Amino acid sequence: MPAAEPVRAMFDTIAPRYDLLNRVLSLGIDRRWRRRTAQVLAEAGCERVLDVACGTGDLTLALEDRGLAATGVDFAGNMLARAHHKGTDRSAGAPAPAFLRGDALRLPFRSGAFDAATIAFGLRNLEDRGAGLIEMARVVRPGGVVAVLEASTPRTQPWRAVYLTYFTRVLPLVGGVISGNRDAYRYLPDTVLAWPRPEALRDEMSRAGLEDCRYELFAHGAAALHTGRVPGAADD
């Protein structure tokens, strides 16, 4: 798993072009996946949500748009600066979520402070993803939800062949040119291709102490939304 300091430096470097690259490289459908994550949490009755490794705040804002009270936390200062700007630049009357600096492995919140914790395309960047899952579960109340939105790899043809060609050839080239950081967009396909299959991540979430772990695939398996519940009775 990647070391924290190089990852922090990499994301601080690419922060100015990060949102543009997300839209270009995902053809804009990453927004749909974030909206679906917010929908799942709203339908589960969650109200207070912590968005871990929030980056520039796309998921945090999607949660707010769904009517949830969202807090974003990230350890990369330049990414947080973008998130703050987007939060305060919203349409008049829309609530601005809180964005705080913090480490996903040592979250600065009391146990059980939230109804749910999310992480979108960030779990694979943690030094210890098992510890990250445990820490996310710690800050969620009994009966609450931990949600992981992450890239995956399609298994069936022709989607797998198209995806692998795009991810290993097109994405590093386009991402490197737009961002000015070729290493960052070689890192992305390397970490995604090394990522466990959805069934394996579901089992990791179970080993982290979560219950009712399940997943939903998007775009023929190019991404997956994993959810698990923190053991114990829900608040009355």
pLDDT of residue 79: 93
What is the reported pTM?
0.88
Whether 103 has a binding-site annotation, put simply, is: yes
pLDDT by 10-residue block (mean), the chain, 236 residues: 80 78 75 95 97 95 94 95 85 74 96 97 92 98 97 84 78 70 72 86 96 94 94 68
pLDDT of residue 94: 64
Whether 104 has a binding-site annotation, put simply, is: yes
* 25 occurs within a structural domain: yes
* 124 occurs within a structural domain: yes
pLDDT of residue 235: 47
Domain extent for 85: 4-152+196-229
* 158 occurs within a structural domain: no
Distance CA 133, CA 81 (A): 25
116: domain CATH number is 3.40.50.150
Residue 153 Cα distances to 129, 142, 200, 218, angstroms: 19, 32, 13, 10
Biggest CA-to-CA distance, the chain: 52
Six-digit token string for 161: 């062949």
* 224 occurs within a structural domain: yes
Distance CA 133, CA 207 (A): 10
* 159 occurs within a structural domain: no
Q: Which residues of 92-125 are buried (b: 16+ CB within 10 A; e: fewer)?
A: eeeeebebeebbbbebebeeebbbbbbbbbbbbb
Q: Where are the alpha helices (DSSP H) in 27-128?
A: 30-43, 58-65, 77-88
* Pairing, β 114-120 against β 48-52: parallel
* 210 occurs within a structural domain: yes
Positive or negative: CA dihedral 205, 111, 40, 123: negative
* Tally of domains in the chain: 1
- Contacts of 23-27 with CB under 8 Å at 24 or more apart are 24/174, 24/178, 25/171, 25/174, 25/175
* 90 occurs within a structural domain: yes
Whether 30 has a binding-site annotation, put simply, is: no
* 70 occurs within a structural domain: yes
- What three-state secondary structure class fits 2? coil
Whether 65 has a binding-site annotation, put simply, is: no
Distance CA 12, CA 65 (A): 26
SS3 percent helix, strand, coil of the chain, rounded to 5, is 50, 20, 30
